Amino acid sequence: MKMQLLEDKIRAEGEIIGNDIVKVDMFLNHRIDVDLLCEIGKEFKRLFGDLGINKIVTIEASGIGIACVTAQYFSVPVVFAKKGFHRNVGNDIYSGEVFSFTKGITTQIGISKKYLTPDDRILIIDDFLANGGAVKGLIGLADQAGAKVMGVGICIEKGFQSGGKELREMGYRVESLAIIKSINDGKIVFG
Amino acid sequence: MKMQLLEDKIRAEGEIIGNDIVKVDMFLNHRIDVDLLCEIGKEFKRLFGDLGINKIVTIEASGIGIACVTAQYFSVPVVFAKKGFHRNVGNDIYSGEVFSFTKGITTQIGISKKYLTPDDRILIIDDFLANGGAVKGLIGLADQAGAKVMGVGICIEKGFQSGGKELREMGYRVESLAIIKSINDGKIVFG
């Protein structure tokens, strides 16, 4: 569900690099416009508010602020996956791998078993969706716990990469507040 | 300024390890109790609300949620220092080092020069204050920018370590919502 305020912000303050990268350090990833975050949180509540969600799950670092501000409107806790776990971390962690196409590296992620349970009906929140590595990694942790993934809320989806399409085809309800269809000659086309 | 709700939470859900570690993964550092975060944010607003603060500064990862929820009550943006910068990262980053006594490692931190300026009157927010490495690192970045550090808001201070005392002696206004004076035989004594 398109959110005009976010598209306007991306157009005004996003920094375009080549034909596939938009840096949003100015309001989402380094400096955080918290008023905007509140509007984003309310929009996620409007979109996912009727699904009985009892936990919001994200991944460090830039997902945490968005998840916490959003969680207020749901009155539910946040759990964030930590990065840099080792494969053999023991029996008390659900763990997995996230491959980042952008950075070309694989990162171990994990969530303590105490904080994901079969009773959970979770909403996954993240800032970006491109190839979907992070979201798929979080779904993997939820699956290990037997938690239900009720939805995936994304701020900015790169529609020209395959993550969103793949997740929707897998049956997940993915709502992206801004979908970038393409970047041509320094101009962003929203989908 | 002591916050009873937070002390009660630490007593009820904190996990004591030996005589110097309290893990608060259950509500602050991995799973996040966002209702509690809202109360923490309101308390910081009460304590620092009259200082003309125009930016909240923290460090990834666990400071981000607290900073974002707090920033709502101030209607100001958040800037978080990123970890893992290299020393020679270029001219567009204020950078410094944080030594963690707990982990025994030094981490490079940095903030883009665009997001800290001489006009800034900042509030530094963090989850823990022990030896003060992270807060001193953030003060170092603010100093490089010529930004004014108006206050330091901490959720949990370890009063038996030296960071809080040192920062107060340096003239900084440090407000910790819970101060752990000591941990004896599995019991926490608050200061």
- B97-112: pLDDT as tens digits: 998 877 788 999 999 9
Question: Which one-letter DSSP state was computed for residue B108?
Answer: E
Q: Are the CB atoms for B105 and B134 separated by under 8 Å?
A: no
Average pLDDT of span B18-36:
94
Of B35, B38, B68, the CB nearest to A34: B68
Minimum Cα–Cα distance from B93: chain A residue: A30
Minimum Cα–Cα distance from B72: chain A residue: A34
CA dist A17 and B41 (Å) reads: 36
Taking the CA of residue B28 and the nearest CA in chain A, the distance in Å comes to: 10
- Model confidence pLDDT, tens digit, residues A5-17: 999 999 999 999 9
- Model confidence pLDDT, tens digit, residues A72-130: 999 999 999 999 865 555 679 999 999 887 778 899 999 999 999 999 999 999 999 99
pLDDT of residue A153: 98
Tokens 């969706």 correspond to: A129
Residue B29 has pLDDT above 60, yes or no: yes
CA dist A4 and B120 (Å) reads: 30
- Chain centroid, CA B97 distance in Å: 16
* Subunit contact B35:A75, Cβ cutoff 8 A: yes
* Subunit contact B64:A61, Cβ cutoff 8 A: yes
Of B34, B76, B111, the CB nearest to A77: B34
- Model confidence pLDDT, tens digit, residues B40-85: 999 999 999 999 999 999 999 989 999 999 999 999 999 999 998 6
* Subunit contact B69:A67, Cβ cutoff 8 A: no
What's the ipTM?
A: 0.95
Q: Find which of B25, B30, B82 to mutate to test the A interface (most A CBs within 10 Å of its CB).
A: B30
Neighbours of B186 (CB within 10 A): 9
Tokens 């949990």 correspond to: B156
What is this structure's pTM? 0.96
* Subunit contact A32:B69, Cβ cutoff 8 A: no
Chain A positions touching chain B (beta carbons under 8 Å): 25-27, 30-35, 37-38, 60-62, 64-65, 67-69, 71-72, 75-80, 82, 111-112, 114-115
- Model confidence pLDDT, tens digit, residues B117-144: 999 999 999 999 999 999 999 999 999 9
Residue B86 has pLDDT above 80, yes or no: no
